[in-house]
Structure 1
Amino acid sequence: MRFVLLMAEEDHYARWDAADEAARQRVVADFEAFDAAVAERGSVVGGEALARPSEARTVRAGAVTAGPFAQTVEQIGGFYVIDVDSIDVAVELAGLLPRAYTVEVRPVPEVPI
Structure 2
Amino acid sequence: MSSVNNIVQGDGRGIGFATVKPGYKTYKSPYGPDYKIQPNIRGIGPGRAMKFGITAASFGVVGAVFALQFFSDVPKVRTDICQKLPLIGDYFVKDIPPSDNVSSPLPAVQRYSS
Q: TM-score range by the shorter chain?
A: under 0.3
If asked which structure has higher relative contact order (CA below 8 Å, sep 6+), I would say 1
Structure 1 or 2, whichever has the larger Rg, is: 2
- Per the normalisation by structure 1, the TM-score is 0.23
